[in-house]
Amino acid sequence: MVRVQKIKRLFPDTVPFGLASSLGKPAIEFLNRYFDLMWNGELKASHGVWAGRWQELEAHAETNASTWMSAMGVRTPTDASLCLLLRYDAVEVHPLVRPTILEAGWYPEHFPSPEATSWCAQGSCAPTGGHPMCIHGTATLPLRAEYVHREVRPKSSWVYAWAWVQPNSVPALSLPSARLRHWDLLNRHYD
């Protein structure tokens, strides 16, 4: 609890989100130390990173952490947690791949997107990735592209915004309901 209070002094929770440009030097130093510890620990290059396109998430950047997490198909944790919204260029983490069951394992919220999502009617085009499910009971977010890339050490300059995740007061959809809604979105989008 003491650690959480110290972190809350660096990343105050008096607002639902904060832009990283408002972070002070101690918070940036904390992030650099944290990223170093994370990179030198167990996570180094052993897990894929799930990411989305900035232009599809930018509209939600100034909302709240629960929306960020839902947009990427991640359930809101039951305890208050700090969430960082990172923005970086794809060339820094190339190559990007479409997520499959090989990356997701038995994560029940993963819902493979059709293979056709990587191709345009006129011929080949840039891959659009997969499509994460919106798993909260809030209004359905439109389909967004989702990618997986190798793990790299994050940079504090990638932090665009931060927010404290509050336990979700809106009940999450049941898995079958979330999948049915997602399936309907895929059908409407890809006909």
According to DSSP, the residues that pair with 120 across neighbouring strands are: 123
| Predicted local confidence at residue 168, as pLDDT | 63
The model's pTM: 0.81
The per-residue pLDDT for range 11-62, each reduced to its tens digit, is 887 776 788 888 889 989 989 988 888 887 765 555 678 888 898 888 888 8
The per-residue pLDDT for range 67-119, each reduced to its tens digit, is 888 888 887 777 778 889 999 998 898 888 888 777 777 877 777 776 665 54
Taking the CB of residue 91, how many other CB atoms lie within 10 A of it?
A: 6
Euclidean distance between CA atoms 128 and 138, whole angstroms: 24
- Running DSSP on this structure, what letter comes out for residue 62? T
| Predicted local confidence at residue 127, as pLDDT | 57
**Token pair listed for 163:** 């927010």
pLDDT at residue 190 greater than cutoff 80: no
| Predicted local confidence at residue 125, as pLDDT | 52
Assign 82 to helix, strand or coil: strand
| Predicted local confidence at residue 169, as pLDDT | 58
Assign 26 to helix, strand or coil: helix
| Predicted local confidence at residue 109, as pLDDT | 77
Taking the CB of residue 126, how many other CB atoms lie within 10 A of it?
A: 10
| Predicted local confidence at residue 128, as pLDDT | 65
- CA 137 vs. chain centroid, Å, equals 18
| Predicted local confidence at residue 120, as pLDDT | 46
Euclidean distance between CA atoms 103 and 146, whole angstroms: 12
Q: What pLDDT band is residue 122 in, cutting at 50, 70 and 90?
A: very low
**Token pair listed for 11:** 């990343």
Q: What pLDDT band is residue 137 in, cutting at 50, 70 and 90?
A: low
Distances (CA, A) of 68 to 29, 79, 122: 24, 16, 33
36: CB partners within 8 A, 6+ apart? 153
| Predicted local confidence at residue 87, as pLDDT | 93
